[in-house]
Structure 1
Amino acid sequence: MPRAVWWLVLARTINRLGAFSLGFLTVLITTEFGADAVTAGLIVAAFGLATIPSRLLGGVLADRFGRRRTIVTGLAGCALAQAGIAVSGSVAMTAVFAVLLGLVFEIYEPPSQAMIADAVRPAQQAQAFSLLNAAMAVGGMGAGLIAAGLGRWDLRWLFVVDAATCVACAVVVRFVLPADRPAPAPPGDAPDSRPGGSPWRDRSLLVLLVFGTLFALMYMQVVMALPLALERRGLPAADAGLLSTTSAVVMVLCQPLLRWTAPLSHHAAMCAGYLLLAAGLAGLAVAGGLPGHLAAVVVWSAGDALMFGRSYAMVSNIAPEHARARYLSVFGTSWGVATVLAPLCSTQLLERAGPAGLWGGLSATCVLLALAQPMVVGPLLRRRPARRTDRHRRRSVTPGS
């Protein structure tokens, strides 16, 4: 991997180490200001909705003003908003800074993903994106430990430390990563080079967005429903933390093994990943004790590691070079939509069908998504990448490519 990828991975890990404060936002609102749970939930929901335009803004800024500038701007905005929450003296002020945080929270993502796509060859993109996902998992493990310590002292310090990690990440990006290059001119054959064109008019991207949203919705339901499902089966809800840590470890251990799957086409790898997800979810459906849940999470996490990088690599492959960050930002809105819908869907399924019905239904959904890869996604990619592959081949012979 190029050096820039490793620095981005390091910066992402640092930033993720501080990304624990949001889970305590509702607690801060209810305990510090005496607000009720409904008010706290509305404020957090407003934050979640604000992250959707935030990601789109990050894509536009990255393509127009440069990757590094946009990353630093987004991280600086997050640091200011987090500090604002830490010093807020009322519910209203906390709500304002929470919404502001949402509006800058996802600006970082599209330019960092686009920078990785710019730095590596198309054949390496899936592994590079998966490495970035593993860095987030590692940072998440450390974040839990930091939160456990600081949360016992003062909740406001969680947001202070979160702001500090954003500043540290911005410093790494500003002084280590290469400077922004001039934005490439739109080629005449690019899908959005016509006047008024946009990624939203690219049918191939919209198809990938639909599948990406279904995957994100399923993934977020697992994250949000797991503690409740464990309680329904008589296990401690806190065991979800152990399962989450296990998942992160498996994703890291799978990184060297991804080289073996590099020869697979994107849709073939996605199909295999969905089948692993289906097997893991089926294991959750029939698991009784903690060992069964751990085994199921191992299988699920292996599928996640195989799929995550591939999905973003597919988007990078169909995106015109001058609009790569915007394509990635549009695709990334799937996570914002899933974050809003997942709590509603998972709680309803859990209430009506129980843990077995929830995990079984999600497993069946994975099987359908696996079947859709060779039937829909495969033909879609075979129609699109030919002229882009030629362009990448021309770039591969230039110095520094």
Structure 2
Amino acid sequence: MRTVRGWLRDTTGGLPRAFWYLWTGTLINRLGSFVLVFLAIYLTQARHFSAAQAGLVIGLWGVGGAVGTTVGGTLADRWGRRPTLLTAHLGAATMMLGLGLARPLWTVALGALLLGMFAEAARPAFGAMMIDVVPEKDRLRAFSLNYWAINLGFACAAVLAGFAAQAGYLLLFVVDAATTVITALIIFTRVKETRSPAAAPSVKDAAPAGALRTILTDRVFLGFVALNLLAALVFLQHISMLPIAMGDSGLSPATYGSVIALNGVLIVIGQLFVPRLIRGRSRSHVLALAALVTGVGFGLTAFAGTAWLYGLTVLIWTVGEMLNSPSNATLIAELSPAALRGRYQGVFSLSWQLAGASAPVLGGLVREHAGNTQLWLGCAALGAVTAIAHLVSGPARERRAAQLRPAATPVRPVTVLATPAPEAAEAAATAPAEPVRVAP
């Protein structure tokens, strides 16, 4: 019992109250995240669109998300984290209902585009707020706990959505919109603005051109974003091509929901132990291993034909996802200058949105012209390439992170050669050894 209590204290203790409100909002929002999980099935079975049309709609979601993350990152730095999150969540809830009521292809496509824009505009603001409120030493734990909440909600949502769809697909959109509004209310009533005036951009950095120039010349950061894009192209096949492949194998949407829920279940069980497992290890090695394991998991899908084999592949690539997420989150936090944290979060999120727009299209093209087997083996090859690239680029990333740490620490004037006045000596004696800071 002492061991369990000690583990809980080490895992959850000492995190600020604002983090737990954000964590709660994440959990509630993900418990109702029905739509994206079943969107491909909804479009092909309920709306009777072709696979190509369904891929187009899902791709437009990703295009809207690309716009949303870019705008959301800028607004998080200039307008503030809290108003950006509130606007994004309320807009997403409105568009969720609109998408559920849309019928013609053009209205469904427009609804998916706008929903992706609002929903993903919240991502950089949320990421920046999480970094703002959690000290650097606790971020690995905090990001792991938040990721645990995401997947607890996802596991429950995947199973519940399979049954809710039997009562009518519109119910999926209504519940998703309702949980998004609840999340917005939690942030509005419980979380204050976290953007520190001390971290506000300078006049040069506040200008869009100055911020863009800073990001575009940060080759280390852009290289990391490119590698995340490659990994996301593989990972996002689970919401585009995987349900179609399982349907071709004669498996029902409810079976897909149960199989994909294994992803969330495994993360819920094991993610809280991952920080201890990877603590002190090279992040580049962890990210390389994550990419390799993920590629292997998706590659084995080429040989699956039954529910249990598909479930086994899901469990394998989930292990890669569990290794990737906390290392990714802490590294992006350290690579982001404090004054441009929202924009850096937005550009990093942009890699996910670009993958969201292109993964279903590329996956569909490969599957149509080369075959199902080649699609999944290609995912394995892309995972191996990403792993090698992480090993090669890792040292440069760590040097860049080390350079940013001193820059984020307020510099206290030092007068070693002069004899301090009594008041100054007393202040120096009572000052903390290291100033409290938010930025990495």
User: Normalising to structure 2: TM-score of the pair?
Assistant: 0.78
Q: Is 2:316 aligned against 1:299?
A: yes
Matched with 2:73 is 59
Matched with 1:175 is 189
| Aligned mate of 1:256, from 250, 253, 272 | 272
SS at match of 1:152: helix
**C-alpha distance after superposition, 1:317-347 (max 9, x if no partner):** 1111011111111111112211222123223
Q: Give the Cα separation in 2 of the matches to 1:47 and 1:132.
A: 24
Q: Which amino acid aligns with 1:135?
A: A
> How far did residue 247 of structure 1 move?
1.2
> How far did residue 274 of structure 1 move?
2.0
Q: Alpha carbons of 1:84 and 1:296: their partners in 2 closer, same or farther (altered >3 Å)? A: closer
Q: Which amino acid aligns with 1:332?
A: S
Q: Which amino acid aligns with 1:328?
A: Q
Q: Alpha carbons of 1:43 and 1:215: their partners in 2 closer, same or farther (altered >3 Å)? A: closer
> How far did residue 8 of structure 1 move?
1.5
| 1:11 and 1:169 in contact (8 A); partners too | yes
**C-alpha distance after superposition, 1:266-307 (max 9, x if no partner):** 212102212322443454445564444433322221111110
**C-alpha distance after superposition, 1:198-248 (max 9, x if no partner):** 423321221111101100101112442223334555666654323211111
| Aligned mate of 1:121, from 132, 135, 138 | 135
| 1:204 and 1:380 in contact (8 A); partners too | yes
Q: Is 2:93 aligned against 1:79?
A: yes
Matched with 1:131 is 145
> How far did residue 61 of structure 1 move?
0.7
Aligned pairs for 1:207-246 (under 5 A) are: 207-231=223-247, 238-246=254-262
Q: Alpha carbons of 1:146 and 1:231: their partners in 2 closer, same or farther (altered >3 Å)? A: closer
| 1:15 and 1:166 in contact (8 A); partners too | yes
Gap regions ≥5 residues in structure 2: 1-14, 412-432
> How far did residue 85 of structure 1 move?
4.2
Q: Alpha carbons of 1:392 and 1:145: their partners in 2 closer, same or farther (altered >3 Å)? A: same
Q: Is 2:35 aligned against 1:21?
A: yes
Q: Give the Cα separation in 2 of the matches to 1:80 and 1:206.
A: 33
Q: Alpha carbons of 1:127 and 1:187: their partners in 2 closer, same or farther (altered >3 Å)? A: farther
Q: Is 2:386 aligned against 1:369?
A: yes
> How far did residue 137 of structure 1 move?
2.0
The count of residues paired between Structure 1 and Structure 2 equals 399
**C-alpha distance after superposition, 1:357-400 (max 9, x if no partner):** 33333222222221222212x12213312232224566993458
Gap regions ≥5 residues in structure 1: none
SS at match of 1:255: helix
> How far did residue 38 of structure 1 move?
7.0
Matched with 1:270 is 287
Matched with 2:166 is 152
Q: Give the Cα separation in 2 of the matches to 1:283 and 1:392.
A: 44
Q: Is 2:350 aligned against 1:333?
A: yes
Structure 1 vs Structure 2 CA RMSD: 3.5
Q: Give the Cα separation in 2 of the matches to 1:234 and 1:87.
A: 29
> How far did residue 92 of structure 1 move?
6.2
Q: Is 2:434 aligned against 1:397?
A: yes
| 2:81 and 2:129 in contact (8 A); partners too | yes
Q: Alpha carbons of 1:43 and 1:236: their partners in 2 closer, same or farther (altered >3 Å)? A: closer
Q: Alpha carbons of 1:194 and 1:398: their partners in 2 closer, same or farther (altered >3 Å)? A: farther
Which deviates more, 73-82 or 271-280?
271-280
Q: Alpha carbons of 1:374 and 1:241: their partners in 2 closer, same or farther (altered >3 Å)? A: same
| 1:44 and 1:98 in contact (8 A); partners too | yes
Aligned pairs for 1:334-349 (under 5 A) are: 334-349=351-366
Q: Give the Cα separation in 2 of the matches to 1:87 and 1:221.
A: 26
| Aligned mate of 1:358, from 375, 381, 385 | 375
Which deviates more, 43-52 or 320-329?
43-52
SS at match of 1:108: helix
Q: Which amino acid aligns with 1:264?
A: R
Which deviates more, 269-278 or 126-135?
126-135
Q: Which amino acid aligns with 1:52?
A: A
Q: Give the Cα separation in 2 of the matches to 1:233 and 1:124.
A: 45
Matched with 1:110 is 124
Q: Determine which structure has more spread, i.e. the larger CA radius of gyration.
A: 2
Q: Give the Cα separation in 2 of the matches to 1:276 and 1:214.
A: 14
Q: Give the Cα separation in 1 of the matches to 2:52 and 2:398.
A: 49
> How far did residue 349 of structure 1 move?
3.3
Q: Give the Cα separation in 2 of the matches to 1:317 and 1:35.
A: 44
Which deviates more, 198-207 or 116-125?
116-125
> How far did residue 356 of structure 1 move?
4.0
Matched with 1:321 is 338
Q: Alpha carbons of 1:300 and 1:239: their partners in 2 closer, same or farther (altered >3 Å)? A: same
